[in-house]
A and B are shown apart, each in its own frame.
Chain A
Amino acid sequence: MATGIKDKVAIIGMGCSQFGERWDTGTDKLLAEAFDEALADAGIEREQIEAAWYGSCIDSVNVGNSAIPASVALRLDGIPVSRVENMCATGTEALRGAAYAVASGAVDIALAIGAEKLKDTGYGGLPTAYKGTFNDLWLPLGSAPAGFAQLAAGYRNKFQVSKDELKKALAHVSWKSHQNGVLSPKAHFRKEVSMETILNAPMIAEPLGLYDCSGVSDGAAAAIVTTPEIARALGKKDMVTIKAIQLAISSGVETTTNQWDGSHVRNTRTAAKRAYEEAGITNPRKQVSLMEVHDCFSITELVTMEDLFISEEGRAVRDILDGFYDREGGGVPCQVDGGLKCFGHPIAATGLRMAYENYTQLLGRAGKRQLDNPTMGLSHNLGGVPYLGIAAISILGLHS
């Protein structure tokens, strides 16, 4: 009987580039920024890495297919490097690959790294994704915000929440992340934004205005993983281990049957249940110290609070407006580093950036934004759209 990967893999080094509009920097140097920091943190040499998982998502504006560009950029001479892509969940997917390699005993030390260069498109927002030759024949167009905005219609309808009340809760989600972003030196956006500005911003996809949408950024993030035993042998005392990594992917139930009501993300619930079980968490509202969730849009964060079983069904609006997810709200702080909203969202780096914040907080290195004694950090990544996508959850904790 499989036992999962809880405490079988330790993270010994992490790195994260400056996120933002990196006009002067190509993907190779973004990768190098994250990689150098991770190597230094781990206190190892490049040659000790035995295998690597490289995540990148949108090829049309990045360095191209395969793991070759990463291997060339980081001079990973001759070792196995795999390129992974699972839309916005790519970063967590890369971490999963590296963690499984270590947990299986195939290698001692592995690298997970993700990078995305989105600001070479010539316009704001994400490029239109290629849907496949068959889907292109029938599936309608639709931007990422249009996919997620539909959750608002479904949520309002299910819980009979008024448009105004939901919009106010959504605005609080973004307002809180901007507050947090100010304290986050590597974040793309580091300015406070008033509730009024958020509420009156131009509409992108009803009811999502400009400030309900995350930043589209360049960036990279990396993790170096090994076994707890090797980590100890390398002199690591305070140690962060992986408690769980779980993925759940749509099989068509939401999009093709009447088994989904449009108000939540089914994959998140499935992945969360499995992740809590793998990590041994029975009461996430009490046991999770902080969360980095996939707030690509404010509505996503709102429903995620319920999908992760932190807020009860239909209660997320109340919890959000009560400040339960604010940094100093006495609840479970969410997006302490600013989240996708303010830290930015270079797609394939995002899952690793979330892990980076959890790791940094757990080790007490978060400076001005350090929380009091966190013990368990959850990150949640969503690829695709709420009804046809990928939910990825990783839970990191202090190794006892």
Chain B
Amino acid sequence: MEYGITSIGAYVPRYRLARGAIAAAHRWMAPSLSGAAKGNRAFCSWDEDAVTMAVEAGRDCLRGVGAESIGSLVLASTRLPYADLQNAVIVAGALGLRPDLVTSDVAGSQRAATTALLSVLTQGKGRTLLVASDKPHAKPASTQELYFGAGAAAVTVGEGDVIARLLGHASVAAYFVDHFRSADVETDYFWEERWVRDEGYAKIAPRAVKLALANAGVAISDIRHFVMPSLFRGAAQVVAKAVGFAGDVADGLDAECGYTGAAHPLLMLASVLAKAEAGERILLVGFGQGADALVLEASGRRMDAADWRGVDDAIADRYLTNDYLRMLSFQGDIDLEWGMRSEKAGKAALTDAYRNEHQLSHFNAGRCRACGTVQFPQMAYCVNSVCKAPSSQFDSQSLVDEPAKILTFTADWLSYHPAPPLYVGFVQFDNGARLLMEMIDAPADAIDVGVPLKMVFRIKERDAIRGFNRYFWKSTPVRI
């Protein structure tokens, strides 16, 4: 049995903003931005964060892979919602991973995910799900605002029929401050791009690359794919040239997504692995206060689950807008007049949340053994009016991947909702379960009776006073 990457998955938010709309909004004070305003960038809806995107990438990665085989979960990000509340454990619950699980968060650097990946690939045992998820946040009118996106990628690492295996690796540490963000600040502080490129990327990354190639016993001419994300365009080409690489420099996913922070190395890798042929070597570089370099060899095996999406499908699934202010509002950069209805109390009863964690996290309905009715929520007695068996007769059945359609809906303009109108209605699952749900991330013409839906893990409500998110599942049209 080989040991290596056994599955891959990806997620990119459906919302895309035309970069031209960003540049147009800033034309009065930063006319030079329009030169870099090509394509579209991904941005998170108000209810997405590193945790929710990690769940979606994790689900994609686990298509056709038994969730029960996962023994540990690592979550890498620089934008985790909680400073002291393990974020990975929220992801684990949503994914329905087994309870005897080792979980950890890795944070603090743009190369958090590459460091975590090489750590997992070199441990040589068990099966780990590694998810990298990030939503870098730039100041309005910065070049980063145009360049940044949002997304997540995941890999499982373990024994089996691998997609790629590790041939060698190396890391270097360097106190090189190209940018930084202190713990209580929202956006990064950047030093001059030319210096970062020439003294940082062009000198530090090659050191790690050369050591890794030596460690793997592979020459640069044996590398087919060079995968290196960077905080600005063009750095990968500079490093490729510095190490004498003449092959394909992997696409930075700039056209429809943008730079996804700590998620980007895995997202680019997932994109390359979906196409790499058997025997092709891949050089993956993560940069940030030093560099990690991993030399991988692809097996040519593909993800074969019918509902697997990967990077290309995630990027193709888009809801394009020109509403720049929508992105700013979703990111919390502007405080719009939402009216008094937005003043509602959002305090969650943590006791109740824990009591019901068994049904809320992984959207577990109860299937009544007495009559077969599938029901959510699970209450004390079966809802079937001719059954009413006690809930001790229920088996858990997750609705996460159950086919469902819209039964009723409305567009609610009255309720406070950060992405109005609130589409709300009954979701009818093919297995008989039914509940009232939000329908999100879709234009008006995509919502109608009978429209097929899929379930997505999101922030149900933010408690702005206490800074606590309630997570739950929402629905979205399978296609828009």
Segment of A141-149, A275-283, A336-344, A374-382 in the binding face: A141-149
Residues 236-262 of chain B: 1 if any A CB is under 8 Å from the residue's CB, otherwise 0? 000000000000000000000000000
Segment of A33-41, A151-159, A240-248, A321-329 in the binding face: A151-159
Known A138-B460, A145-B414, A204-B413: A133·B349 in contact at CB below 8 Å:
yes
Residues 196-222 of chain A: 1 if any B CB is under 8 Å from the residue's CB, otherwise 0? 000000111110100000000000000
Known A134-B352, A153-B425: A143·B434 in contact at CB below 8 Å:
no
CB of B339 within 8 A of CB of A123, answer yes
Q: Does A65 belong to the interface (CB within 8 Å)?
A: no
Interface size on B, residues (CB 8 A): 51
A104: chain B residues within 8 A (beta carbon): none
Instruction: Say how far A123's CB is from chain B's closest CB, in angstroms.
Output: 5
Which of A150, A202, A257, A258 is in CB contact (< 8 Å) with B409? Answer: A150
Q: Does B34 belong to the interface (CB within 8 Å)?
A: no
In angstroms, Cα B472 to Cα A67, docked, is: 38
Q: Does B375 belong to the interface (CB within 8 Å)?
A: yes
The residue of chain B having its C-beta at the shortest distance from the C-beta of A121 within the complex is B340
Q: Does B194 belong to the interface (CB within 8 Å)?
A: no
In angstroms, Cα B449 to Cα A156, docked, is: 10
Interface residues of B in 396-417 (CB under 8 A from A): 407-417
A261: chain B residues within 8 A (beta carbon): 407
Known A150-B425, A257-B373: A139·B413 in contact at CB below 8 Å:
no
A122: chain B residues within 8 A (beta carbon): 340
In angstroms, Cα B409 to Cα A252, docked, is: 18
A125: chain B residues within 8 A (beta carbon): 341, 414
CB of B344 within 8 A of CB of A257, answer no
Interface residues of A in 77-136 (CB under 8 A from B): 121-123, 125, 128, 133-134, 136
The residue of chain A having its C-beta at the shortest distance from the C-beta of B376 within the complex is A256
CB of A137 within 8 A of CB of B352, answer yes
State which size class the interface on A falls in. Answer: 35 or more
CB of A262 within 8 A of CB of B412, answer no
* Most chain A beta carbons < 10 A, residue from B339, B351, B377, B410: B410
CB of A256 within 8 A of CB of B424, answer no
Main secondary structure of the interface of A (DSSP, over half): loop
In angstroms, Cα B339 to Cα A138, docked, is: 24
In angstroms, Cα B413 to Cα A122, docked, is: 18
The residue of chain B having its C-beta at the shortest distance from the C-beta of A156 within the complex is B449
Total number of A-B contacts with CB less than 8 angstroms? 140
Residues 438-476 of chain B: 1 if any A CB is under 8 Å from the residue's CB, otherwise 0? 100000000001100000000011000000001011100
CB of B436 within 8 A of CB of A139, answer yes
Q: Does B45 belong to the interface (CB within 8 Å)?
A: no
Q: Does B30 belong to the interface (CB within 8 Å)?
A: no
Residues 222-244 of chain A: 1 if any B CB is under 8 Å from the residue's CB, otherwise 0? 00000000000000000000000
CB of A138 within 8 A of CB of B360, answer yes
Known A153-B409, A204-B413, A251-B383: A140·B438 in contact at CB below 8 Å:
yes
Which of B373, B383, B422, B474 is in CB contact (< 8 Å) with A142? Answer: B422
Known A134-B377, A137-B352, A139-B436: A257·B414 in contact at CB below 8 Å:
no
In angstroms, Cα B348 to Cα A142, docked, is: 18
Q: Does B328 belong to the interface (CB within 8 Å)?
A: no
CB of B353 within 8 A of CB of A146, answer no
A141: chain B residues within 8 A (beta carbon): 415-417, 422, 424, 438, 461
* Most chain B beta carbons < 10 A, residue from A253, A257, A259: A257
Residues 322-361 of chain B: 1 if any A CB is under 8 Å from the residue's CB, otherwise 0? 0000000000000000011100100011011100100010
B436: chain A residues within 8 A (beta carbon): 139-140, 142, 255, 387
The residue of chain B having its C-beta at the shortest distance from the C-beta of A125 within the complex is B414
CB of B383 within 8 A of CB of A257, answer yes
B353: chain A residues within 8 A (beta carbon): 137
In angstroms, Cα B375 to Cα A251, docked, is: 13
Which of B412, B434, B449, B472 is in CB contact (< 8 Å) with A146? Answer: B412
A251: chain B residues within 8 A (beta carbon): 383, 385
CB of B413 within 8 A of CB of A205, answer yes
Known A134-B377, A137-B460: A206·B411 in contact at CB below 8 Å:
yes
In angstroms, Cα B375 to Cα A139, docked, is: 14
Known A128-B344, A141-B417, A142-B436: A256·B339 in contact at CB below 8 Å:
no
Known A141-B415, A253-B385, A257-B375: A153·B437 in contact at CB below 8 Å:
no
The residue of chain A having its C-beta at the shortest distance from the C-beta of B340 within the complex is A123
Q: Does B308 belong to the interface (CB within 8 Å)?
A: no
Which of B421, B424, B434 is in CB contact (< 8 Å) with A258? Answer: B434
A255: chain B residues within 8 A (beta carbon): 426, 434-436
Instruction: Say how far A167's CB is from chain B's closest CB, in angstroms.
Output: 14
Q: Does B171 belong to the interface (CB within 8 Å)?
A: no
In angstroms, Cα B436 to Cα A387, docked, is: 10
Q: Does B316 belong to the interface (CB within 8 Å)?
A: no
In angstroms, Cα B421 to Cα A203, docked, is: 10
Instruction: Say how far A259's CB is from chain B's closest CB, in angstroms.
Output: 8
Q: Does B69 belong to the interface (CB within 8 Å)?
A: no
In angstroms, Cα B424 to Cα A261, docked, is: 16
B461: chain A residues within 8 A (beta carbon): 136, 141
Q: Does B384 belong to the interface (CB within 8 Å)?
A: yes
In angstroms, Cα B370 to Cα A115, docked, is: 46
In angstroms, Cα B379 to Cα A251, docked, is: 11
CB of B411 within 8 A of CB of A205, answer yes
Q: Does B428 belong to the interface (CB within 8 Å)?
A: yes
B344: chain A residues within 8 A (beta carbon): 128
Known A150-B425, A206-B410: A137·B470 in contact at CB below 8 Å:
yes
B340: chain A residues within 8 A (beta carbon): 121-123
Q: Does B31 belong to the interface (CB within 8 Å)?
A: no
A262: chain B residues within 8 A (beta carbon): 407-408, 426
A136: chain B residues within 8 A (beta carbon): 348-349, 461, 470
Pairs of residues from A and B, 10 with the lowest C-beta to C-beta distance, nearest first: A146-B412, A149-B410, A133-B349, A150-B408, A143-B414, A262-B408, A133-B352, A206-B411, A143-B415, A252-B383
Known: A138-B460, A203-B411. 19 other contacts (CB 8 A): A123-B340, A134-B352, A137-B348, A137-B470, A141-B422, A141-B424, A146-B422, A149-B410, A157-B450, A205-B413, A205-B414, A205-B421, A208-B410, A252-B375, A255-B426, A255-B434, A256-B375, A257-B432, A387-B426
A-B contact pairs, 17 of them (CB 8 A): A128-B344, A137-B349, A138-B460, A140-B424, A140-B436, A140-B438, A142-B415, A143-B415, A146-B410, A149-B412, A153-B408, A203-B411, A203-B413, A205-B411, A208-B410, A255-B426, A258-B428
A interface residues (Cβ-Cβ under 8 A, vs B): 121-123, 125, 128, 133-134, 136-143, 145-146, 149-154, 156-157, 202-206, 208, 251-253, 255-259, 261-262, 387
